[in-house]
């Protein structure tokens, strides 16, 4: 997920205008689409002003492209996939159309068994789908310093889960940002404001496709 040097430097991800396209809810101009970004510090915006957090920047980018959308920030610094499962019911309120699920980085940094992470993510997805809430998956990747076996098992979580659950997948949330010192805070792990803008730029097409798949609701 992150370069080995970044992990050694920082440890855990820890506390401290286009027209709207048709199809699904994304084509329903009569109402605002409500999406929850359920994640860890990468979603929460650790070390940044609130206006620079991923959900805020993503919402602004979507609105600039004609999307009537609200992105709720349900990121919790230090959270794991199991932690996300424990709070999913109250973090994702009734009336939510879709969830962008970004969890697992802290599991990897702690060396959690990938089977544990996968089960938690799978249960989150199943619980949300059972409530009629669509899910888009934001993937993570393991660092090289964990060894080939761990990397293979961890990296397989996201594409496997996406296939089995029929989810739209953005393969690597930190694509183009991880390992770039200019796009990360001094801890070497969390994106700067510019890093967040880079993430949004890369994930935006996938999020737009996701919105286009959301079922229209009365």
Who's near 110: CB < 8 A, 6+ residues apart?
Answer: 12, 80
- Three-state secondary-structure class, residue 214: coil
- CA-nearest of 156, 174, 153, 57 to 105 is 174
Is 160 an annotated catalytic residue? no
Would you give the distance in Å from CA 138 to the centre of its chain?
Answer: 4
Q: Which residues make beta-bridge pairs with 107?
A: none
Who's near 66: CB < 8 A, 6+ residues apart?
Answer: 17, 18, 19, 20
The residue from 41, 77, 91, 143 that is catalytic is 41
Which residue matches tokens 């989150």? Answer: 124
Q: Which residues make beta-bridge pairs with 169?
A: 137
The residue from 122, 175, 180, 187 that is catalytic is 187
Question: What are the φ/ψ torsions at residue 49 (nearest 5 degrees)?
Answer: -65, 155
Cα 90 to Cα 87: distance, rounded to the nearest angstrom: 6
Across 84-199, where does the E strand assignment appear? 98-102, 134-138, 168-170
Is 187 an annotated catalytic residue? yes
Cα 47 to Cα 191: distance, rounded to the nearest angstrom: 9
Is 107 an annotated catalytic residue? no
The residue from 97, 107, 155, 190 that is catalytic is 190
* Residues tagged active-site: 41, 187, 190
């Amino acid at each position: 997920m992150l370069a080995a040097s970044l992990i050694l430097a920082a440890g855990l991800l820890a506390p401290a205008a286009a027209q709207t396209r048709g199809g699904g809810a994304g084509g329903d101009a009569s109402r605002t689409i409500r999406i929850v970004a359920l994640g860890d510090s990468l979603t929460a915006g650790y070390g940044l002003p609130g206006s620079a957090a991923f959900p805020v920047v993503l919402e602004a980018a979507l609105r600039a492209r004609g999307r009537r959308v609200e992105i709720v920030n349900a990121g919790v610094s230090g959270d794991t996939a199991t932690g996300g499962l424990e709070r999913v019911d109250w973090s994702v309120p009734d009336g939510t159309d879709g969830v962008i699920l970004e969890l697992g980085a802290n599991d990897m940094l702690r060396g959690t068994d990938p089977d544990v992470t996968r089960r938690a993510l799978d249960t989150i997805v199943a619980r949300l789908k059972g409530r009629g809430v669509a899910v888009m998956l934001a993937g993570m990747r393991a660092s090289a310093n964990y060894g080939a076996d761990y990397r293979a098992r961890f990296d397989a979580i996201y594409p496997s889960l996406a296939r089995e659950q029929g989810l739209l997948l953005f393969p690597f949330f930190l694509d183009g940002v991880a390992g770039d010192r200019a796009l990360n805070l001094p801890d070497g792990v969390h994106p700067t404001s510019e890093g967040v803008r880079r993430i949004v730029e890369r994930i935006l097409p996938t999020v737009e496709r996701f919105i286009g798949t959301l079922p229209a609701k009365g």
